[in-house]
Amino acid sequence: MSDKSPKTPTPVVPQQEAETSQGNGMSWDSNQEAMQQLFQRQKTTPVQAARASGMWQDLSYPLLQDMPGSQKGATDNYNLSFRDKSGFKDPTSHAYLNKAGGGKNWKGLRLDHGPNVKSGGQTNWHWNQKGSMNAFGQADHALANPAAARTGSILRAMKPLSRGAMIVGAGMDAYSLGSEAHQSMQTGEWDNTIEKGSEIAGGWAGAYAGAKGGGMLGASIGTVVGGPLGTVVGGALGGIAGGVGGYLAGSSLGKWASGLW
């Protein structure tokens, strides 16, 4: 008989597991923390304001000034938009100066990308227009200058990004509101949800009003400064800046208003 104590089996697997969990546990925790911090940053008001301003491409901006009409002595009103409003598939234009009261048949000026009859069917950036020659001085199918072509390319690239940002922003705000509501259901205290709700509502209402106002102002100033391209650039910049500013102001106002109850 041996007096040696029975050999205990070496706990190979648990040890490995322990090592693994010890080794990676710290980095997992820190990763999780970093992710949480990143997520919290994504929900902050300035980031959300930038996302909400993505609505600028979905709005239309009436120009404040009357433009020379197609008939001598007459004037026409225009509005700027960045999306095709006709509802037909595959639009090729990326900025529209729409003549008001055009009815079913569109009239105005648009920055288009596609085959151009005035350059032998070559695909390029050009202006297409109908009944707005006197207002903007651009002939139909006139080749866009490099600045206009660059603007068109930027607008085209920004379209999906702006809409995506807006959707993500709305989702983030919905999540924030849901989290507050969940917390309220557990505590029975609803002030935090009301505050968050009015902050979000104020933010989006402010973004809409700000983008609309900023775009309108920017487009009108741009028209005076730089013709149709100025209108497009001014409207875009005004819409973005107005959207950001409007969200920040609106959310602050909403937060303040919720405190009055």
Partner 1 sequence: MHRLRRAVGRVCSVPKPHQTSGASIDRERLNDEEAARFDDGEPPIGWIAWWANKAQEIDARGGGALITLEPGLLGYRRVQPIDADALKQQMDSVIWTRAAGVVLAWGVPESAMNKRHFRRIPCAGAVGVHIDGCGAILMADPDTTNAWAW
Least CB distance to partner 1 at residue 85 (A):
10
The region of 46-54, 133-141, 172-180, 188-196 touching partner 1 under the rule CB under 8 A is 133-141
The region of 13-21, 117-125, 180-188, 195-203 touching partner 1 under the rule CB under 8 A is 117-125
Task: Return the HEC string of the chain.
Answer: CCCCCCCCCCCHHHHHHHHHHHHHHHHHHHHHHHHHHHHHHHCCHHHHHHHHHHHHHHCEEECCCCEECCCCCCEECEEEECCCCCCCCCCCEEEEEEECCCCCCCCEEEEEEEEEHHHCCEEEEEEEEECCHHHHCCCCCEECCHHHHHHHHHHHHHHHHHHHHHHHHHHHHHHHHHHHHHHHHHHCCCHHHHHHHHHHHHHHHHHHHHHHHHHHHHHHHHHHHHHHHHHHHHHHHHHHHHHHHHHHHHHHHHHHHHHHC
Q: Tell whether residue 101 is a contact of partner 1 (CB under 8 A).
A: no
Here's the x/- map for partner 1, 165-194, by CB under 8 A: it reads as ------------------------------
Per CB under 8 A, contacts with partner 1 among 213-242 are none
Q: Tell whether residue 67 is a contact of partner 1 (CB under 8 A).
A: no
Least CB distance to partner 1 at residue 247 (A):
29
Least CB distance to partner 1 at residue 144 (A):
14
Residues that bind partner 1 (CB under 8 A): 70, 86-92, 104-107, 112, 114-118, 121, 123, 128-133, 139-141
